[in-house]
Structure formats: structure tokens, C-alpha cells
Amino acid sequence: MSAHALTIHEAGELLRAGDLSSAELTRAILERIHRLDPRVRAYLRVVPEAALAQAEQADAHLARWRREGGALPPRLLGIPLAIKDILCTRGIPTTCGSRILENFVPPYDATAVERLKAQGAVVLGKTNTDEFAMGSSTENSAYFTTRNPWDLSRVPGGSSGGSAAAVAADMALGALGSDTGGSVRQPAGLCGVVGLKPTYGRVSRWGLVAFASSLDQIGPIAKDVRDCAILLQAIAGHDPRDSTSVDAPVPDYLAALEGGIRGLRVGVPREYFVEGVQAGVADAVRAALRVLEGLGATLVEVSLPHTEYALPAYYLIAPAEASANLARYDGVKYGLSVRESADVWDMIRRTRGQGFGPEVKRRIMLGTYALSAGYYDAYYLRAQKTRTLIRQDFDRAFQQVDVLACPVSPTVAFPIGERAEDPLQMYLSDVFTLACSLAGVCGISVPCGFADGLPVGLQIIGNVFDEPTVLRVAYAYEQATDWHTRKPKLDEEV
């Protein structure tokens, strides 16, 4: 097997055995990026010199361990990974896919990045994203559109489309993304890889550039469930710098994979199998449910009655928080500053007018309107009350079942440009992931088949801090199928 095609756990075994060096592995990935990324466009920035320097440090650590023994090296030592360009990286520009931060170089790493580096992971570069993570297709990046490795004429999903495409194209062994309303799970589903949104508060948001602070959560994207567990193990845990980070023990996620799912109750929400779901998607997900049943799980139909209100509630709450969070980009402290202005207010208007793209402006206006005097109670407050009802739906469901299973997205990846002028259709891409985010529970996307030759994702949703059960169900399904081993045929097109 080529080095670039390895999973994290496969590469780790070879590195520890001395059968492969991190420098060799990193060079193989960098060569693949050089060859394929001009067409896929997953990366905004690659840092080959820094990556190779980190790889050589990892090799020195591994050589010392093989010579002297001692504790096993960290599982991510020497593993090349990609970082979504909404996470701060010390010394590497962090643009959030926006012109307003085009030249911003953070003086620190986000906690999640810091924890990867502490394990000796190799940072390859920063992946493309919808501007400030606002989008479902990575078409809203101010720089370029990332393409789906399975069909270069289609979107990879979003907003973590760059990270999902990089992993699917074997241009990284794993990646970090962020999920506010589905932005890890949906692109993972559309690109045929695994993506996990942890419970809100499980992974520190410190150093994640804020979109909607009560919803944003960092999550891993990987080639299989075991890799996803390895990445989550590295980044999970309390961080005193993040007031929303929960001070609770972190389970052994790898140990949780084993044991099977016999006797587990899998809830099937009737609201997620409705008109509008592409026939091939529904067929693939129902076939996946039959596999879970064959593995000993019991399927139980459940209802999440307020699901239909998730989309309108999300598109009031998230833009309202974005309106407040993005007020800091005023041309004064950092980022773009249009100095050729009549006065300070004109400078702020010009800076924000030139720096923000159409979708970001749309959401700022939506959010500002929802928070304005006379409309706050009618819109934002009602949306928050609806959010409570959605959370209560999940609470009741998890009294009956252990996990929920449903589609990740109602369709497979759609053609680039097809929904660019229709915001509502674009927003509907996340209709099955929004409620999970509003409730703050955890969810994973795992490949479960194909429709029209494109990947379909199975979404498994778990209760708060029940990532171990979600991972166990996803792993059991993955081991019984081979969908996760399928690869796009990019090499044949070169």
C-alpha cells in the first residue's frame, strides 16, 4: 500500500516498528498534494518546510524510543494532519476563508492544535473553508471553491469541505474541522469519510475563530472510525481558557470501540425519512439500518417532533451570534483596514464592505435584525425557546434508545453553482444535522454506500458526552461493511 493511503493507526504501527519514517510519509503526502491539489483545491496554504522539520523531530523521538525503550510514543507522533483555516495556528496565516483576515498571522495555537502538536503530529497546512464557516459547500470561500474528490464538478460540502476533501483524496491522514450546524458531518458524508461532532464543551474552542459561540465545536475528520477515536482522544478534555469547556473525565475512546452492539437500541427518527430525501440516499441509509439490526441491535421508531423548526431556529440563533462575534472586525485592531476613508465610521463601513463576502453580510444582517429593538422577543427569544423544545425531544428519545440513526444529508454532493443563488436550498443541505447542534449532543457521519456514484453518509447521534457509544456503533457498522475502503479514482485522471 502507498504511504499516502495509510490510515493513522496503520501508519503509527509502521512508524513505531521502524518500517516507515515520518519524513518519508510526510514527503509522500506533500508530493500528492503538489500533484492533485491544483484540481481538488483542498488547501489554502501548505507549509512543507515546517512539516518536514516536524517530521524529522518525530523520527528522532521514535529512534530514541526504539533505542532506549520506555513508554509508548503518542499515537499521533509523526502523523501528517491538516487543519481547517478557522483554527489559529502560530506563525501560519489564519484567514477563515475571508479577505478581512487575509494577512492575519496568529501568535498562538488553538488548544486543539496545541494538543495535536504536543503528541508530535505533523501539520501539513490549512484547509479551505466557507468564509467564517458560513456555508454548506465551501463555495463561500473568498479564495476559491474546493472540489469533491469523487466528482470534481461537485461540491465537497461545507464548511469543512477542504478538510474532508483532503482526507478523501489521501492528501492528509486526518484533519480537524469545525461543526456549527453540520460542518464536519455533512462534508464528511458527501466526501465518503468519517467526521465526528463532539458534544458541546467536550473539545476546547479556545483559538477557534468564533462564528456562533453557543454552537461551534471542533471535530475530527478521518479515513475510518478508529482514526476518528484517536484524534478525538488527543483533542478532548477540559481547558480553563475556554469557559464553555466541561471539566469532566475523558473516556478511553479506543477501548470503547470493541464489544459489538448486540442488545443496543437504535432509534430511527421518522422526521428524517421524509419527502425531499433523494431515493438513493434513503435506500443506502435503510440498508445500513438493516446491517445494524443484523449485528444484534434493535431498531426502534422514535419521534423528534420539533425537527421541522430546527432550520428556522438555527438561522436566527447562529446569525445573531455571528453578528455579535464579527463586530470585532472593524479595521482597527487586526485584519483588513481601509485607511482611505473620510473618518473612522467610514473606515469601518469600507473595511467591512470590502472584507466580508455576500453570505457573511447576509448572516450579519439577519442576525442584527433579529437582535434589534422591537424584534428580539419575536425572533431571537422564540428561536431560543424552540431550541429548548428540540433539546427536550432528544432527551425523551434517549430515554427510549441508546443512539439515533438517520441520513447525514438529504442528497449526495450537488454540482458546483447549482445552489449558489438559492440560499434556502443551500441551507436545506444541513437540515438533518442542525437539530443535533442545537441540542448540543454528539454525532458522527460514517460512509454507508453510494447514490448516483457519489458517497452517502449514515449519521449516528448520541446523548451528551456519549461519544463512546456513538463510536462503538459506527465502528461495528464499519467493520461489517467495506464502504470506508472505497477511494475516488483521482490517480487515474492525472
H, E, C per residue of the chain: CCHHHCCHHHHHHHHHHCCCCHHHHHHHHHHHHHHHHHHHCCEEEECHHHHHHHHHHHHHHHHHHHHHCCCCCCCCCCCEEEEECCECECCECCCCCCHHHCCCCCCCCCHHHHHHHHCCCEEEEEECCCHHHCCCCCCCCCCCCCCECCECCECCCCCCHHHHHHHHCCCCCEEEEEECCCCCHHHHHHHCCEEEECCCCCECCCCECCCCCCCCEEEEEECCHHHHHHHHHHHECCCCCCCCCCCCCCCCCCHHHCCCCCCCEEEEEHHHCCCCCCHHHHHHHHHHHHHHHHCCCEEEEECCCCHHHHHHHHHHHHHHHHHHHHHHCCCCCCCCCCCCCCCHHHHHHHHHHHHCCHHHHHHHHHHHHHHCCCCCHHHHHHHHHHHHHHHHHHHHHHHHCCEEEEECCCCCCCECCCCCCCHHHHHHHHCCCHHHHHHCCEEEEEEEEEECCEEEEEEEEECCCCHHHHHHHHHHHHHHCCHHHCCCCHHHHC
Which residue among the candidates 183, 245, 409, 445 is catalytic per the annotation? 183
84 is catalytic: yes
What distance in Å separates the CA atoms of residue 242 and residue 228, rounded to the nearest whole number? 23
Q: How far is CA 348 from CA 158, 337, 345, 353, 356, in A?
A: 29, 8, 5, 8, 12
Which residue among the candidates 21, 22, 141, 159 is catalytic per the annotation? 159
Which residue among the candidates 84, 117, 126, 223 is catalytic per the annotation? 84
Q: Which three cell numbers stand for residue 15?
A: 512508524
137 is catalytic: no
223 is catalytic: no
Catalytic residues: 84, 159, 183
